[in-house]
Amino acid sequence: MSASALEQGEDAFRKIFRLYRKKNPPADLSGVLEFRSGESRLRSAELRVNAVSDQDAGRVGLQPLGFLFIVNPFLPGWQHRWVRQCLKLYPRKPNVCNLDLHMSLESGRDLWDHSHAQLRKKSPRRRSEKTLLEKLRWVTLGFHYNWDTKKYYREHQSPFPVDLAELSRCVSLACGFPNFRAEAGILNYYHMDSSLGIHVDESELDHGSPLLSFSFGQSSIFLLGGLSRDVAPTPMLMHSGDIMVMSGASRLLYHAVPRILHYPGGGVLPPCLSVPPSNDGPNALIEPCAAADWEVCQAYLQSSRINMTVRRVLAEGGSFPEEDADTQHEAAMRGHGYHTENNETQEATQAHGYHREQ
Ligand code: OGA
Ligand code: MN
């Protein structure tokens, strides 16, 4: 990498990011890891409840688990329920989303109420005006991530959804992380032209816990790099239902999503008619997705991808650094639609939390 290229920001990661971001002509995908292919480079692992912890592995000289990729472990019909939660439930108060300014104008109605009829009615191509649901870019849960300051604040918190906390507990436990606690969630909503810039998730005060990532809907290319942007990233395909666990040494690696793509057999969930009758045990935490709700979700997912990341923010017994409470409160409120920026600016600056790479 020459010094001048670096000056222009053309590091090894960005070079690959731009390669896969390109649509015309689209990048050759033959070098992208496809975990479903059974390629010999990949060691596959089933999600097992007795998985060993990194600590235990270390005691007998096994390499730590690091980055884990779990090919869709959801039972038939259950991805639908999580998608419905992401579109109908999680954007509601007290959770925070990029459209909070709009929502306050529409008192009493939520995003779903506002958009579902429209979404069901027309195909995306025939709709000129985007519904509010289609303008949703992010939702934060638990300790609300502040996009401006890139911090979490003790004062800016709402109860973490019990169902998602439990899903996270089960997955982390099954991967050998019994101490994981779901304290913050960032839900990203992508459309076919969206991307997620190159970043490291380092705002959490504890990096000893893994970061869990759940993907639904259309497929994407995920780039996993190194500790510096000078390390060229590995491209991999992520499909609906897939789960990634960034743990151990992989927790602070650079990563990005340059492309969302229609991948044959990848992102498409069965239509509402084939949502199987519930395969619930007696204590299912979330109810089946009703056929009428699924019609809305399905219309939305035709050209969208949803990603939920769940994080632990504080170490065991840890607390937020002592700052002046007023400063904290003020900072917590900034960047969340409580100030008087106009909608256009608000949308432009916060449409995607992470800035877009060209
Ligand atoms: C994130 C993130 C990846 C994805 O939200 O921090 O890296 O697959 N998401 O959307
Ligand atoms: Mn991330």
Per-residue pLDDT band for 129 (boundaries 50, 70, 90) equals confident
Closest CA to ligand 1's atom 2:
309
Q: Report the pLDDT averaged over residues 210-229.
A: 95
Query: In testing the pocket of ligand 1, which one of 20, 257, 352, 355 has its CB within 8 Å of the most ligand atoms?
Result: 257
Report pLDDT digits (tens) over 75-118.
888 999 999 999 999 999 999 999 987 666 565 678 888 888 88
List, for residues 241-287, the tens digit of each pLDDT value: 999 999 988 999 999 999 999 987 665 565 444 455 566 767 889 98
- 234 or 334: whose pLDDT is higher? 234
End-to-end CA distance of the chain: 19
Task: Name the residue with higher pLDDT: 341 or 354.
Answer: 354
Q: How far is the centre of ligand 1, averaged over its atoms, from the C-alpha of 324 (Å)? A: 31
50 pLDDT higher than 60 = no
Give the model's pLDDT for residue 155: 92
- In one letter, which amino acid is 74? F
Binned at pLDDT 50, 70 and 90, residue 234 comes out as very high
Three-state secondary structure string covering the chain: CCHHHHHCCCCHHHHHHHHHHCECCECCHHHCECHHHCCCCCCCCCCCCCCCCHHHHHHCCCCCCCEEEECCCCCCCHHHHHHHHHHHHCCCCCCEECCHHHHHHCCCCCHHHHHHHHHHHCCHHHCCCCCHHHHCCEEEEEECCECCCCECCCCCECCCCHHHHHHHHHHHHHCCCCCCCCCEEEEEEEECCCCEEEECCCCCCCCCCCEEEEEEECEEEEEECCCCCCCCCEEEEECCCCEEEECHHHCCCCEEEEEEECCCCCCCCCCHHHCCCCCCCCCCCCCCCCHHHHHHHHHHHCCEEEEEEEECCCCCCCCCCCCCHHHHHHHHHCCCCCCCCCHHHHHHHHCCCCCCCC
Instruction: Give the closest ligand to the alpha carbon of residue 200.
Output: 2
Enter the pTM of the model. 0.84
pLDDT in tens, 293-309: 998 999 999 899 999 99
Confidence of residue 48 (pLDDT cuts 50, 70, 90): low
Domains of the chain (ranges; CATH) run 69-356 (2.60.120.590)
Provide the pLDDT for residue 350: 42
Ligand 1: residues with CB < 6 A are: 186, 188, 196, 201, 213, 215, 222, 255, 257, 307, 309
Which residue lies with its CA nearest to atom 8 of ligand 1? 307
